[in-house]
Structure 1
Amino acid sequence: MIDIRDAYRRALDGFGSRLHLVQDDQWELPTPCVDWDVRGLVNHVVVENLWAPELLGGRAAAEMGDAFDGDVLGDDPVKAFEVSAQGAIQAVYAEGALTAVTRLSFGDVVGEEYITELFADVLIHTWDLARATGGPERLDPQLVASCADWSARTQEDYPQAEPTGDGHRAWRDTDQQDRLLSAWGRNP
């Protein structure tokens, strides 16, 4: 199994590479996440990145309140992503991050589990961003396999895995990426 910190870093790199392809006229395009356009999706990923140093550093979600509510992208969404990703990566590689107790809104989890959640979220949203903007939709197969393994082991713990609302389920003979996306409520 791939080190989850490396998987998360690579997933952020994949998201970033697709983000750099977004054209000025694409920020308001709809995404597979029915509540978000491209800007909203990118904002969500940046907010998650901003939470990582705080939560892995020992702060509780309840302490933070609405610190990252609203639009955190400003005038340069790409730069906002890059800065937030750099901070998140530093936080996950910090000594003790894997064993730190992270106090999330729904309860406490060990750092490794929280980092795995971050990884899965950004990997799936990489596909969402690509689908919305016409970018490359094929995800890193090693990351897909790692995410699929985690998702299969924890699906009962995370039933709220951001379904898109269409209830689509992939056929058994589709590839692993399609099965993973389908399990997360996407229609590949």
Structure 2
Amino acid sequence: MMIDIRDAYRRALDGFGSRLHLVMDDQWELTTPCVDWSVRVLVNHLVNENLWAPELLAGRTVTEVSDTYERDVLGDDAIKAFEVSSQAAVQAVYAEGALTSVAHLPFGDVLGEEYVTELFADALIHTWDLARAIGAVDRLDPELVAACAEWFAAAKEGYHQAGVIADHRNVPDDADQQTRLLAAWGRRG
């Protein structure tokens, strides 16, 4: 990957946060490109992932953590919940040994670097989902798109088999890299 994955993840979270600050009071129940997810459910998903990151990078298992965060964790201030959780997640990925630790994920154990890469990709794609849902600028950082596309080329089949992404969408041969990446994730750019 051409960028430090920790920096990519931090920047993806910053991009999500900038769109999150644009959500109006009447937009929380809008649908997103994620099937059956409202804006609030999407934000809750990302906050949950942020809360899991320090725990899983510290060696805890999903079973040990799941009851703690598999619920609505946004409370009355979704933006603050996101900001606090993002700060904790970023601190965890920059901690010494985080990238070489073993993260015990539902589908098996992976090195911390792979886990952080998955978190980065999820944050980046969900930034587009959020922007689309609320009508904000949906252009993603081209450097992050390139990094995600490079990683996802090898990871796509596993994601598809696990059923966590929709079927690949066809795009014109001259489509830009963001459109191709989103299509690989089953999104219509």
**TM-score > 0.5 by shorter chain:** yes
Determine the structure 2 residue equivalent to 1:33: 34
The farther-off stretch of 45-54 and 154-163 is: 154-163
CA RMSD of superposed structures (Å): 1.2
State the SS of the aligned residue for 1:54: helix
Unpaired runs of at least 5, structure 1: none
Distance 2:188 2:166 in 1: 8
Residues 23-70 of structure 1: per-residue CA shift (max 9 Å, x gap): 000000000001210000000000000000000011111222321112
Q: Aligned ranges for residues 90-109 of structure 1 at < 5 Å? A: 90-109=91-110
State the SS of the aligned residue for 2:6: helix
State the SS of the aligned residue for 1:95: coil
Unpaired runs of at least 5, structure 2: none
Equivalent residues of 2:156, 2:184 under 8 A apart: no
Determine the structure 2 residue equivalent to 1:2: 3
Residues 86-139 of structure 1: per-residue CA shift (max 9 Å, x gap): 000000000000000000111000000000000000000000000000011000
1:156 matches 2:174: no
Equivalent residues of 1:74, 1:80 under 8 A apart: yes
Structure 1 runs (4+) greater than 4 angstroms displaced: none
State the SS of the aligned residue for 1:70: coil
Residues 112-168 of structure 1: per-residue CA shift (max 9 Å, x gap): 000000000000000000000001100000000000000002222322474357x63
Equivalent residues of 2:31, 2:37 under 8 A apart: yes
Q: 1 or 2, which has the higher helix percentage?
A: 2
Determine the structure 1 residue equivalent to 2:176: 175
Distance 1:67 1:26 in 2: 27
Aligned partner of 1:104: which letter? L
Distance 2:4 2:63 in 1: 29
Distance 1:65 1:168 in 2: 32
TM-score (norm 2): 0.95
- Count matched residues: 187
Distance 1:144 1:7 in 2: 10
Distance 2:29 2:79 in 1: 15
Determine the structure 2 residue equivalent to 1:67: 68
Determine the structure 2 residue equivalent to 1:15: 16
Aligned partner of 1:84: which letter? S
Aligned partner of 1:93: which letter? Y
TM-score (norm 1): 0.96
Residues 73-93 of structure 1: per-residue CA shift (max 9 Å, x gap): 000000000000000000000
Aligned partner of 1:52: which letter? A
State the SS of the aligned residue for 1:29: coil
